[in-house]
Amino acid sequence: MIVRLLFFSVLRDVTGTGEFDLETKPDARVSDILEQLFLRWPKLKDWDASLLVAVDQTYVKRDACLQAGAEVAIMPPVQGG
């Protein structure tokens, strides 16, 4: 299945893109796609402990299941000011 990834803030610099379509296994979870991304962009793993992930505009944990066509937003920690 294919999911749409969105990268925000400094993660755009790390990946070199703001959007990316990823093909993954049909029963993929957020943790599965993160592992795929860490292989593709090793520097992204430096952010692993603080990444925020939203699926279809709802924050989720890494064990969340994905559906085909899901929009997965990957963000660094949010800072207010």
What is the tens place of the pLDDT at every residue in 37-79?
999 999 999 999 999 999 999 999 999 999 999 999 999 987 6
Closest alpha carbon to 3 in 18, 15, 21, 19: 21
Predicted pLDDT of residue 57: 96
What is the tens place of the pLDDT at every residue in 4-37?
999 999 999 999 999 999 999 999 999 999 999 9
DSSP reduced 3-state for 9: coil
End-to-end CA distance of the chain: 39
Q: What is the pTM of this model?
A: 0.92
Predicted pLDDT of residue 81: 54
Q: Does domain 2-75 have CATH number 3.10.20.30?
A: yes
CB 74 within 8 A of CB 6: yes
